[in-house]
Amino acid sequence: MRHTLRFITPRFREALDHLPHLPRALRLVRDSAGRWTLIWAVLLVLQGLLPVATVFLTRELVNALVAASESQGATEAIRLAIGLTVAVAIVLLVAETARALSVWVRTAQSELVADHVHGLIHKKSTALDMAFFDSAAYFDKLHRARSEARTRPALLVEGLGNLLQGSLTLIAMSAVLITFAWWLPVLLIVSLFPAFFLILGAIVRLHQWRIRTTINQRKATYFDFLLTSRETFPEIRLFDLAHHFRSLHDGLRSTLRAERLSLAQREARAQVGAGLFAIAALGGATLWMVGEAAHGRVSLGGLAMFFQAFLQGQRLLRTTLESAGQIYSNMLFLGNLFEFLDLREKIINPENPLPVPAPLQRGIRFRDVNFTYPSSNRRALVDFNLEIPAGATVAVLGSNGAGKTTLFKLLCRFYDLDQGTVEIDGIDIRRFTLEDLRRRIAILFQDPTNFSLTAGDNIALGNLQGQPSLNDLRKAALDGSSHDLISELDNGYDTMLGAWFDGVELSHGQWQRIALSRAFLRQADIVLLDEPTSAMDSWAAASWMDHFLELVKDRTAVLITHRLTTAMRADFIHIIGGGRVIESGSHQELLAAAGIYAQAWQSQNRG
């Protein structure tokens, strides 16, 4: 087909490229609002045919009024005129009722479609690999996919409805016009050709502009976030950055606004020319009809019917073209949506999964692992080997960027390796389902999420499938050292936390204890903690470590820490540097080796 359409301009070829989105868009509407769509279609057909009935009744009414005025009060002529007047009123009433019902039905339909689209975006976003979130291109796709997601589906539905309704009426109006002359419907269509080219060109230019400026639109949104967010308040105020970021935001918005207004100005000029062409066509056809009436070949009622049919036909054709343009515009938007929904995750479940060994017998092993983050050119782990015996407590130390947190991300299978394997009891973790693997892991991240929920709900998120009771939540809070904190809140475990919904804001250390309690609720046999004592003083950290060692008896635990006084209590200590293990052993063994650990220990003691 592309070969046979070589004569078509690139703009039209681009339009044709998006036509395959229409069936998928229609299925989207059907799947989300099938029953409402059926009712909507019936109302559209009714509204499409009623204007034609009005045109015919108008002709008969005008002729009846003329006949009544010439009959000198004949009862039969007056009755006919009154009857036709009542018929016109009934048709108009039905049309208004159908229009009101359509608004109700379209609102319900568009809300269902909009929620369905949001659901699809959320489902895809929560299924994609973590690697996608390291890419600016992904966020460009996400921004375009959910841009105007609330309104675009409604506009798609409205455009389809207007197109169907207008097409029905337009066909009927053409049938009316052809009774006067065969060329009148042709003139009607030709009169709107410039408008058609205008609409299509404007839509393509606007879409290309949105694609081209996505990064600047996201930057403007980011600067808006910096200026209005609680999280950024301290540094924005302390360093007096408000003016700087306002200037950056306003500069971007000024550029975007100027480009958008330039597109609108170009479109407005073209609309004036298209309107003049349509008016000239109407004027020429009207003059011809007046001539026909002057020669007695058309009645006064016929002249009124022609004028109304041609004028309505032009209006309907313009509306139909605009609806077609609206549909195409929404197909472009849906093309962005479908592009996002068609992203494919690479980290998936195996075809024939194995069960995760329970309980662990041998432990966890990183074997010859090489790994590079998608957004980096530097390998995070290089020929990395590490064994974590089952039931042991292991501490991992190293400088920032050494690769410590990467171990947790790989063990949770947020990323897959470039080379090597991560094994549990000798089985590659890629042989397990993601759900089974992650269900066996309790984890505290270095920067845990602060959920603006009640204290109890915050902890319950650690094991929603288990439907934890209040006693379960209290035990987890005791294990995570947050019970005393929660007990001091006004409503205890029912206290709303976080500033989003007028809750109680906690300190970083308090939020960390809530997150730790959430991790302990899971009762998993693999426990991963990233800097669990970073917000504690030395005495509190020592006391917490005693408590922790009791909790993880018979479990396999890994702690990432910078505190040597925390690490010294572990069964095994591993020092990571440059993506490799550079020292391993117990506290006493590492001191005796007089290496990096021993030097750090002596330095810390002197401090």
What percent of the chain is predicted at pLDDT more than 70? Answer: 79
Range with the poorest average pLDDT among 9-23, 219-233, 441-455: 9-23
pTM above 0.75, yes or no: no
Q: How many angstroms separate the CA atoms of 535 and 3, rounded?
A: 67
- Mean pLDDT, residues 23-36: 79
Q: How far is CA 484 from the centre of its chain?
A: 40
Residue of higher predicted confidence among 367 and 155: 367
Q: How many angstroms separate the CA atoms of 200 and 395, rounded?
A: 64
- Mean pLDDT, residues 250-279: 78
The HSE-up count of residue 84 (CA atoms within 13 Å, CB side) is 21
What six digits make up the tokens of 550? 């009791």
Give the model's confidence band at 425: pLDDT under 50 very low, under 70 low, under 90 confident, else very high: very high
What percent of the chain is predicted at pLDDT more than 90? Answer: 11
pLDDT tens track for 528-586: 988 887 766 677 777 778 888 888 888 899 998 888 888 888 899 999 988 889 989 98
* Of 82-96, 222-236, 480-494, highest mean pLDDT: 480-494
94: helix, coil or strand? Answer: helix
Q: How many angstroms separate the CA atoms of 511 and 534, rounded?
A: 12
- Mean pLDDT, residues 297-316: 66
Residue 94 near residue 50, CB atoms below 8 Å: yes
What six digits make up the tokens of 280? 């000239």
Residue 301 near residue 66, CB atoms below 8 Å: yes
Q: How many angstroms separate the CA atoms of 217 and 225, rounded?
A: 12
Residue of higher predicted confidence among 333 and 192: 333
Residue 541 near residue 481, CB atoms below 8 Å: no
Q: How many angstroms separate the CA atoms of 120 and 341, rounded?
A: 7
- Beta-carbon contacts of residue 15 (< 8 Å; ≥ 6 apart): 200, 204, 328
- Mean pLDDT, residues 466-485: 88
Residue for token pair 């925390």 = 566
Closest Cα partner for 418 from 381, 445, 386, 390? 381
Residue 558 near residue 527, CB atoms below 8 Å: yes
Give the model's confidence band at 192: pLDDT under 50 very low, under 70 low, under 90 confident, else very high: low
Q: What residue ranges do the domains of the chain occupy?
A: 18-341, 363-440+524-606, 454-514
Q: How many angstroms separate the CA atoms of 599 and 346, rounded?
A: 43
Q: Is the peptide bond before 359 cis (omega within 30 degrees of 0)?
A: yes
pLDDT at 364: 92
Q: DSSP assignment of 423-451, as one string? A: EETTEEGGGS-HHHHHHTEEEE-SS----
CATH topology assigned to domain 363-440+524-606:
Rossmann fold (3.40.50)
**How does strand 556-560 pair with strand 526-530?**
parallel
pLDDT at 404 over 70: yes
Q: How many angstroms separate the CA atoms of 314 and 392, rounded?
A: 81
- What string of H, E and C letters represents the secondary structure of 331-381? HHHHHHHHHHHCCCCCCCCCCCCCCCCCCCCCEEEEEEEEEECCCCCCEEE
* Of 66-75, 129-138, 285-294, 551-560, highest mean pLDDT: 551-560
pLDDT at 497 over 80: yes
What six digits make up the tokens of 372? 């590079």
Closest Cα partner for 17 from 341, 338, 342, 345? 338
Dihedral pair phi/psi, residue 117, rounded to 5°: -65, -45
Give the model's confidence band at 365: pLDDT under 50 very low, under 70 low, under 90 confident, else very high: very high
Give the model's confidence band at 366: pLDDT under 50 very low, under 70 low, under 90 confident, else very high: very high
595: helix, coil or strand? Answer: coil
Contacts by residues 260-267 (CB-CB < 8 Å, ≥ 24 positions apart): 260/209, 263/202, 263/205, 263/206, 263/209, 266/202, 266/205, 267/198, 267/202
pLDDT at 94 over 80: yes
419: helix, coil or strand? Answer: strand
pLDDT at 564: 84
**Mean pLDDT score of the chain:** 79
Give the model's confidence band at 320: pLDDT under 50 very low, under 70 low, under 90 confident, else very high: low
Rg (CA), the chain: 36
pLDDT at 307: 65
CATH topology assigned to domain 18-341:
ABC transporter transmembrane region fold (1.20.1560)
